[in-house]
Homo-oligomer: A and B are copies of this chain.
Amino acid sequence: MKTSKIPHRFYLTEEQMPTQWYNLRADMKEQPDPMLNPATGKPAQVEDLYPVFCKKLAEQEMDASSRYVDIPEEVQEMYKIYRPSPLVRAYQLEKALETPAKIYYKFEGNNTSGSHKLNSAIAQAYYAKEEGLKGLTTETGAGQWGTALSEACAYFDIPLTVYMVKTSYEQKPFRKTIMETFDASVIPSPSMTTNAGKAILQTNPDTGGSLGCAISEAVEKAVTTEGYRYVLGSVLNLVLLHQSIIGLETKKAMEMLGEYPDVVIGCAGGGSNLGGLIAPFMQDKLIGKANPEIIAIEPASCPSFTRGKYAYDFCDTGKITPMAKMYTLGCSFIPSANHAGGLRYHGMSPILSKLYHDGYMMAKSVEQTRVFEAAGLFAKYETILPAPESAHAIRGAIDEALRCKETGEEKTILFGLTGTGYFDMTAYASYRDGTMTDSIPTDDDLQKGFMALPKI
């Protein structure tokens, strides 16, 4: 197919949508190190996870061998309300940049939750419903995951309690309202509803909270409430499994257009979008079928890939979760208060950490003012106001396209546009009025986090 014939937005039909998720672990030559039970220091067994996670999800978390996993029909049905998502050729952005590169993006923001998070939220709410659970708990930072899970729980009729990082709760009251519109209970974290929250408030009564702290609270609430379990929207292997729908749709669409990316770029917080987008392209790399460059873009203010340690660490601040081997800044790390967007988790998906450690992918960090500059340019030419998180990937793609302009290379660049920025207007306003600043942790800052890593 000739380039000129490639449409601006390309949609698969419903019949062409994937009916199975892809499990990247099945093709990894070396597996990520196992999670450790913090009580015993031994590899966690699936039974260790049952008190926290719903059974089916615990099994998916531990299953490294099933290459493809059937997507339940009920999940497929809800996917069809907003999927397939479009693969967009960024013609206008290419023109504005005067680049010889072709730029594609997979747009996951066309649903009310406003991001890709819904892909895993639906699966997790469905399995919880199937198991007959009475309710779920979770945490949310910027609010995208909480919104997505609220939508999925409303649809499947399961009560949900969301612990929302307090700074975010205060900065984004509308995020709370939208979750409540979908019937969720939203509690600012740290709170007095859990021992973990009380302990943190005792030490630091004025804290704005952190994702790690909200996770501690949500987990505690789940394990102490009859019939409740905890769900998490990133980092976990099971989340990457569900999010593979992004990459599978993208790859199929590109094949139909006669295209294949030279570079695949995703923003990276806990890894949910990045892991999903790159899954089938990483498979090509692992099995030697193709060799696309894969680049993670993370905030300079929360640089877990580029400046973190590859080590065992807790997934939460309260140290009640299993320990995972991952790139981490230490479980008590909190990005500087002027950090505006999400992507603020201290660690990184163990699967992606292993692949990065083994040289299958690269990572770059960018300052937020450069991120918002890219966001504004993108909005002007592609008429989508991106989420700050997604704008990290835009920055990466623009930088790559500008490099191509210098070298004359006609690369095919693919990036993930994970969501929209309608609830981030305060940050947009601060960028516009020049009050937004950058903050890069010093080596000393990071050292403190590394010192507190478990000695394993």
Q: Are the CB atoms of A112 and B379 closer together than 8 Å?
A: yes
Q: How far is the CB of A95 from chain B (nearest CB, A)?
A: 10
Stretch at the interface among A5-13, A27-35, A317-325: A5-13
A429 at the interface (CB under 8 A from B): yes
Which of A178-186, A198-206, A349-357, A402-410 touches B? Answer: A178-186
A154 at the A/B interface (Cβ < 8 Å)? yes
Q: Does A174 contact B (CB under 8 A)?
A: yes
A370 within 8 A of B: no
Q: Is A81 an interface residue (CB 8 A)?
A: yes
- A177-B432, A422-B423 known; A383 and B111 CB under 8 Å? yes
Give the residue of B82, B92, B383 whose beta carbon is less than 8 angstroms from that of A383: B82
Q: A151 near B: Cβ within 8 Å?
A: yes
Picked from B7, B113, B154, B178, the residue with its CB within 8 Å of the CB of A14 is B7
How many copies of this chain sit in the oligomeric assembly? 2
Contact indicator A383/B7 (Cβ below 8 Å): no
A155 at the interface (CB under 8 A from B): yes
B428 and A177 contact, CB distance less than 8 A: yes
CB distance from A121 to the nearest CB of B (A): 10
Are B178 and A385 in contact, CB atoms less than 8 angstroms apart? yes
Asked whether, in the complex, the Cβ of A383 is within 8 Å of the Cβ of B80, the reply is: no
**Residues of chain B within 8 A of A155, CB atoms compared:** 92, 380-381, 383
Which residue in B11, B178, B183, B385 is a CB contact (below 8 Å) of A428? B178
Q: Return A150 CB to nearest CB of chain B, in Å.
A: 10
| Alpha-carbon separation in the docked complex, A174 to B14 (Å) | 36
Find out whether the CB atom of B181 lies under 8 angstroms from the CB atom of A385: yes
Given contacts A112-B420, A425-B174, A428-B181, contact A154 B380 (CB under 8 A): yes
A5 to B182, CA, bound (A): 30
Q: Which of A78, A177, A180 has the most CB of B within 10 A?
A: A177
Known interface pairs A112-B420, A422-B422. Does A383 touch B81 (Cβ–Cβ under 8 Å)? yes
A151's partner among B14, B114, B174, B383 (CB-CB below 8 A) is B383
Does A453 reach chain B (CB closer than 8 Å)? no
Given A7-B80, A422-B422, does the pair A383, B429 have CB atoms closer than 8 Å? no
A180 and B422 within 8 A (CB): no
Question: Which residues does chain B contribute within 8 Å of A420, judged by CB atoms?
Answer: 112
Q: Give complex CA distance A81, B381 in Å.
A: 9
Which residues of chain B come closer than 8 Å to A380, judged between CB atoms?
A: 154-155, 182-183
Contact of A112 among B82, B92, B383, B423 (CB under 8 A): B383
A425 nearest CB neighbor, chain B only: B174
Min Cβ gap A436→B in Å is 13
Complex contacts, A37 vs chain B, CB 8 Å: none
* Residues on B with beta carbons closer than 8 Å to the beta carbon of A379: 112, 151, 154, 181-182
CA distance A285 to B140 in the complex (A): 52
In whole angstroms, how far apart are the Cα atoms of A28 and B81 in the complex? 38
Contact B9 A80 (CB under 8 A): yes
Q: Is A382 an interface residue (CB 8 A)?
A: yes
> Can you list 8 A-B contacts with CB-CB less than 8 angstroms, sorted by A residue number?
A8-B14, A81-B383, A82-B383, A112-B385, A114-B422, A151-B379, A155-B383, A178-B425
In the A-B complex, the 5 residue pairs with the smallest Cβ-Cβ separation, listed nearest first, are A174-B425, A422-B422, A8-B80, A7-B14, A112-B385
